[in-house]
Chain A
């Protein structure tokens, strides 16, 4: 029904397979096909045009570009799959992949754990929950650039973090100059930004568990820990799945923190000392928009897409365990991913 190509062919007698509203509508208005479908088609046309020009076309164009060698000004030169070959032999690219995964792991695991703890505590709290929510969510809505600037000063050699270490008699750490210092600093920023967000998502999941389940557990003589592990956590699984998947997608796209922290007019230091803060997207940006290798950047975009797709699948499998929940997870992800994308 919905895939009938020509509006005129979708005559009045044939269209009962459609929605109820339409069935009634066709009775209320003239049965001429074009006139009936005109307004809704007109209504979705802005989206369709925008989607075609700025959504679908770039994806196709990006695939085309990824086989070309192009500086954006001169002629394109077809290089085909060699582009991907160069990319796979590029040690900086692999370094950026490794960095991205290290930062993703260092941030996501503690973040989800802390969010779960905070959600449980918030759930058992009855006073000021509204204020807590606002306070926990503020890091997520704030400009990443501004907060990276702040964290950059906190982690500077003479910054607050090292001053605090000095107070307790420890040596300063090269937060922004050593390999693990850089990764920990970036992870701290990510954790700070996303813990509250995920805690609120988990809290919503907790609140959706029916009271009767707790009653039943209590009648059966379960203690707090048993209730937690046998009743609460299993029911939270879809929500945890959602958080794990969105965190992975976001984590693999990290850019702003590292770019702002180690931004420099000098191309050589993008990604920080030893390029330990070089992430996949940062490298994509550098190659495409600093070095003007548009084709190379496009190819990197596709590899990023492949990596994200693989990890998303692994994540679903790990957390969901069953296909049915996996699909529920996909649906919830579709619904929520947009909301997790702000300030990418």
Chain B
């Protein structure tokens, strides 16, 4: 909120880009709108292609408006691949994975922010160090480990390795330090609450805004992850949506409208999730980037 107000005061007065003539203002809006059009055009084009026939897509000049075949094409996707199976896999992995991340990360963050224990600094340093390592470095050994555990090809392999992550702990710890007063915890202690009751009944309700950001962020990351499911889901009949879509693209890449309908179906649920939380999500994202 404070951010929005400041924007109003410095906005035109500060940079003086939009404060000039009417012409400048129109230009600014024009460019911004052009940016929106470019941002959104691929989605529009996706709908156009998913609702036409493949001949429409190959035709010249191309048809620029949606056609009447959306439901046909979606039906063909359902006939061709096990869409609901991979949707189910993706939903399970994203929901369970996000829940575990929220629980484990906030629990660890609560301990890191409000308690002393042996090895705390070392562990926190190790946690930060994991940021520096590209995920691809661990790709091969992770896969070998999964094969060794007998998890390769199962949803466990998609859920467990990511069930607690450094980013989330760091994020929640910052939040806990700033927004969870020691007095509140002391009051709880006087009432006889132990660590886990303080975590669950005092800290958790206050963590809600930070958890919302972390939750949406984690959900989107898991939903969109491609390389790990591609590597570890060794059974082609049991994959996530992203891998299923890529397979559809390989096998039927001359049947554009089919592939596009599949792409559309894989994108819509995520966009809905994002739009629901977008307002808070974007505010937190911006706040996190500038606080140093």
The residues in B between 101 and 139 inclusive whose CB is less than 8 angstroms from any CB of A are 104-105, 107-108, 110-112, 114-123, 126-128, 130-139
B140 at the interface (CB under 8 A from A): yes
Q: What A residues does B139 contact at CB under 8 A?
A: 284-285, 288, 297, 301
Query: Shortest CB–CB separation between residue A219 and chain B, in angstroms?
Result: 13
Give the size category of A's interface with B: 35 or more
Q: Which of B122, B275, B288 contacts A335 (CB 8 A)?
A: B288
Contact code string A28-72 (vs B, CB < 8 Å = 1, else 0): 110000000101111110111011011111110110010000001
Let me know if B224 and A342 touch, CB within 8 A.
yes
A256 at the interface (CB under 8 A from B): yes
Complex-state Cα separation, A22 to B266, whole angstroms: 48
Given the interface contacts A47-B164, A134-B282, A294-B144, does A339 sit within 8 Å of B288 by beta carbon? yes
B211 at the interface (CB under 8 A from A): no
The residues in B between 63 and 120 inclusive whose CB is less than 8 angstroms from any CB of A are 104-105, 107-108, 110-112, 114-120
Query: Shortest CB–CB separation between residue B116 and chain A, in angstroms?
Result: 4
Let me know if A55 and B7 touch, CB within 8 A.
no
Complex-state Cα separation, A9 to B189, whole angstroms: 24
Complex-state Cα separation, A53 to B225, whole angstroms: 20
Complex-state Cα separation, A172 to B60, whole angstroms: 13
Let me know if A342 and B221 touch, CB within 8 A.
yes
Let me know if B195 and A39 touch, CB within 8 A.
yes
Let me know if A54 and B161 touch, CB within 8 A.
yes
Complex-state Cα separation, A264 to B246, whole angstroms: 10
Let me know if A61 and B144 touch, CB within 8 A.
yes
Let me know if B141 and A58 touch, CB within 8 A.
yes
Given the interface contacts A263-B249, A304-B137, does A144 sit within 8 Å of B116 by beta carbon? no
Let me know if A255 and B227 touch, CB within 8 A.
yes
Given the interface contacts A20-B182, A158-B60, A342-B217, does A124 sit within 8 Å of B15 by beta carbon? yes
Q: What B residues does A7 contact at CB under 8 A?
A: 117-118
Chain A, residue nearest B120 (CB): A2
- Give the most central of B114, B115, B121, B278: most A CB within 10 Å: B115
Q: What A residues does B11 contact at CB under 8 A?
A: 123-126
Query: Shortest CB–CB separation between residue A216 and chain B, in angstroms?
Result: 11
Let me know if A46 and B126 touch, CB within 8 A.
no
Let me know if B289 and A146 touch, CB within 8 A.
no
Query: Shortest CB–CB separation between residue B278 and chain A, in angstroms?
Result: 5
Q: What A residues does B289 contact at CB under 8 A?
A: 201, 204-205, 239, 242, 332, 336, 339
Q: What A residues does B107 contact at CB under 8 A?
A: 43-44, 46
Let me know if A150 and B42 touch, CB within 8 A.
yes
Q: What A residues does B18 contact at CB under 8 A?
A: 121, 124-126
Let me know if A40 and B117 touch, CB within 8 A.
yes
Let me know if B163 and A50 touch, CB within 8 A.
yes
B38 at the interface (CB under 8 A from A): yes
Let me know if A39 and B196 touch, CB within 8 A.
yes
Query: Shortest CB–CB separation between residue B80 and chain A, in angstroms?
Result: 15
Query: Shortest CB–CB separation between residue A9 and chain B, in angstroms?
Result: 8
Q: Which of A83-91, A102-110, A160-168, A314-322 contacts B (4 or more CB under 8 A)?
A: A160-168
Complex-state Cα separation, A180 to B135, whole angstroms: 28
- Give the most central of A40, A132, A288: most B CB within 10 Å: A40
The residues in A between 98 and 116 inclusive whose CB is less than 8 angstroms from any CB of B are none
Let me know if A144 and B292 touch, CB within 8 A.
no
Given the interface contacts A304-B137, A343-B221, does A145 sit within 8 Å of B245 by beta carbon? yes
Let me know if A151 and B42 touch, CB within 8 A.
yes
Complex-state Cα separation, A332 to B287, whole angstroms: 11
A120 at the interface (CB under 8 A from B): yes
A244 at the interface (CB under 8 A from B): no
A177 at the interface (CB under 8 A from B): no
The residues in A between 110 and 144 inclusive whose CB is less than 8 angstroms from any CB of B are 117-118, 120-126, 129-130, 132-139, 141-144
Chain B, residue nearest A203 (CB): B286
Let me know if B217 and A118 touch, CB within 8 A.
no
Query: Shortest CB–CB separation between residue A31 and chain B, in angstroms?
Result: 13
Let me know if B170 and A334 touch, CB within 8 A.
yes
Complex-state Cα separation, A204 to B286, whole angstroms: 5
The residues in B between 190 and 241 inclusive whose CB is less than 8 angstroms from any CB of A are 190, 194-196, 199, 217, 220-221, 223-227, 230-231, 241
Q: What B residues does A267 contact at CB under 8 A?
A: none
Q: What B residues does A147 contact at CB under 8 A?
A: 42, 263, 267
Q: Ordered nearest first, which 7 A-B pairs have the shortest CB separation?
A: A338-B167, A39-B195, A124-B18, A204-B286, A343-B224, A18-B116, A58-B138
